[in-house]
Chain A
């Protein structure tokens, strides 16, 4: 597609439920990033993919969080047994190659609210 696409744009869920957030990067972009942005906070790095592998998972806050990428394209971020503190905007970005010497292209984010 023309840009990075994320879905759903908004998700309201009950505490304890699992959620899946999807990111469709720009075609041909090999690098994909997930960030979390809580209200009034900066960007919190979650995970980075190069192709289908994740060389850097250091930002995942707990084992309730996982992510995968298939076919070097679409990525899914899964949060199991959601907690209220998981409420945030989850941003996905992609870039042409490894690292960030080039530009990151961001999606508009998925806003997650855990009741």
Chain B
């Protein structure tokens, strides 16, 4: 069965430091992969998506993610964290059978001043 695993329910980084949020997936076919962000008291919004084009995907707010088939990973990175990046981040993969999204449990990003 397909699944998405996000390592770390909470990740804390200092302002200006590298952000790395991990996502591993399982899928029997080349997947569509997504990262969404949820700011406090808001709905989710799309950060970026991978749809079998370039393996390095650039998103909004300086985030990017690299699709690595050999590692079944789609980790999210940002070179320099800002206080405004504090939010919860969700990784998702499209389900083969019915095109629904399978969601990871989410990672809360905490930015230390």
| Interface residue ranges, A against B (CB under 8 Å) | 4, 41-43, 45, 48, 55-56, 91, 93, 98-101, 103-104, 106-109
Contacts and interface: CB of A to CB of B under 8 A. Distances in A.
Main secondary structure of the interface of A (DSSP, over half): loop
25 contacts: A42-B105, A43-B44, A43-B90, A43-B103, A45-B100, A45-B103, A48-B100, A55-B98, A56-B98, A91-B44, A93-B43, A93-B44, A98-B99, A99-B94, A99-B98, A99-B99, A100-B32, A100-B99, A100-B100, A101-B99, A103-B46, A104-B36, A106-B44, A107-B43, A108-B43
A108 B32 contact: no
Interface in B38-55: 41-46, 49, 51
Nearest to B4: A42
A106 B41 CA distance: 12
Contacts of A106: 43-45
B-side interface size class: 20 to 34
Contact of A108 (B36, B41, B106): B41
B106 A42 contact: yes
Contacts of B106: 42-43
Nearest to A59: B100
A98 B49 CA distance: 17
6 closest A-B pairs by beta carbon, nearest first, are A99-B99, A106-B43, A42-B105, A100-B101, A106-B44, A43-B103
B94 A100 contact: yes
B74 to A, nearest CB: 15
A99 B100 CA distance: 5
Contacts of B101: 100, 104
A91 B100 contact: no
B32 A101 contact: yes
